[in-house]
Amino acid sequence: MFRNTFLLLALTLGFMPCSGFESAQAATALPEDRTAAVVYSYFNVGEDDDRDIPTLSLEAFESQIHEIKTGGYNATTLPVIINSQATRDVLPPRTIALTFDNVNDAVLSNAVPLLLENNIPFTLFLSPGKLDDNTKSGSGIGWDAIRSLKKESSVTLALTSYTYGHIVELPEADVLSDLNRAKARFREELGQEPEFFSYPYGETSPSLTAIVSRAGFKAAFGQTSGVVSPASNLFALPRFTITDEFGDIDRFRMTSLALPLPAKDMEPHTTQISQNPPTPGFTITSQLTPEDMGGISCFASGLGKLQTSHLGKNRFEIRFPKGFEDNKGRMNCTLLGPSLEGSDEPRWRWLGFLFSIPDQMVLPPPEISHP
């Protein structure tokens, strides 16, 4: 039953397993699997006046809450997940955390009450500039609404930039000014130091992650798909984004079982690409066998399966047939991992890339011929 469901889902998402489900039992287990955890990123739940924010319907969110409560999930906090990577404490399968970026009214009125009612932990990444503006104008959520959540043990309050914008494009001095202002306002209003940071729009670069790592945070999160493990860069951690397009319950179940695909020397080093199409590559750092690595396949949004070249022992380079037709592009590389004992549910190793494409590099959509 699950196999048929997964095959349908794989077709929908644009990727297919490159080897049979039977090989899952023979796939190599990695030490990183023992503390693996999946973090989800939400932006809006239910109706909201801002149509530019990626949204998940309230009905779909309620289905995910039911799935978490009844499906054997270990829903926990970001501090537990991050601390476990350092201590190597074993985390059970389907360990997940829910996060919300640049929190708005709809999240506070639709998502938060459901999560509190069901005792499901979650993290709110706050933009102090937005909260300051709302507090002054008396419209939208302000600091008082956030302070009311401080007493809830299931709630983690965290930080994004003061002015939610493309800070990856700013000079270092301007980034530091924004971060210092955001941290100061967070501390003044909430009486605590933020431990976690979320990059606006998921955009990162080596210089930006270095600045954030020196700013006193324990970890920082982007928006590339993937799994948190001891092999992850603590200041460029992955999250699966949840929207109406990527929010169905079958995808939620599949990604909750995802495993890490540890890699280094990832190219490009930044989400801001200088050519379209990009020419990504990565080196596998784990104890995967040549037989395992032969099953790696990569897929890009709107482009399907990509040409993947296996160079030497563990280097992979990927080539695109053409560029992206949007300002945002994604590439995910997957590999069938070991299934859970006593289960035929496939578990996929997952490595994601996010690309931000300048307007002048976005390809025009193909012309539609009319008879």
pLDDT single digits (tens) 24-74: 557 999 999 999 999 999 999 997 555 677 889 999 999 999 999 999 999
Given this structure, which CATH class describes domain 1-30+262-371? mainly beta
- CA atoms of 106 and 342, how far apart (whole Å): 41
Query: What letter represents residue 51's amino acid?
Result: R
On whether the CB atoms of residues 237 and 219 are closer than 8 A, the answer is yes
Cis peptide before 277 (omega within 30 of 0): yes
Instruction: Provide the token pair at 230.
Output: 């001891």
Q: 240-242 and 38-42: which strand pairing?
A: parallel
On whether the CB atoms of residues 228 and 37 are closer than 8 A, the answer is yes
Average pLDDT over the chain reads 91
Residue ranges of the domains in the chain?
Answer: 1-30+262-371, 32-258
On whether the CB atoms of residues 56 and 45 are closer than 8 A, the answer is yes
pLDDT at 371 over 50: yes
pLDDT single digits (tens) 318-332: 999 999 999 999 999
Q: 307-311 and 259-260: which strand pairing?
A: unpaired
pLDDT single digits (tens) 320-369: 999 999 999 999 999 999 998 878 888 999 999 999 999 999 988 766 55
CATH of domain 32-258: 3.20.20.370
Q: What is the value of pTM for the model shown? A: 0.92
pLDDT at 77 over 70: yes
Task: Report CA 49 to chain centroid distance, whole Å.
Answer: 24
Rounded CA Rg of the chain: 20
Dihedral sign from CA coordinates of 87, 80, 227, 146: negative
On whether the CB atoms of residues 223 and 165 are closer than 8 A, the answer is no
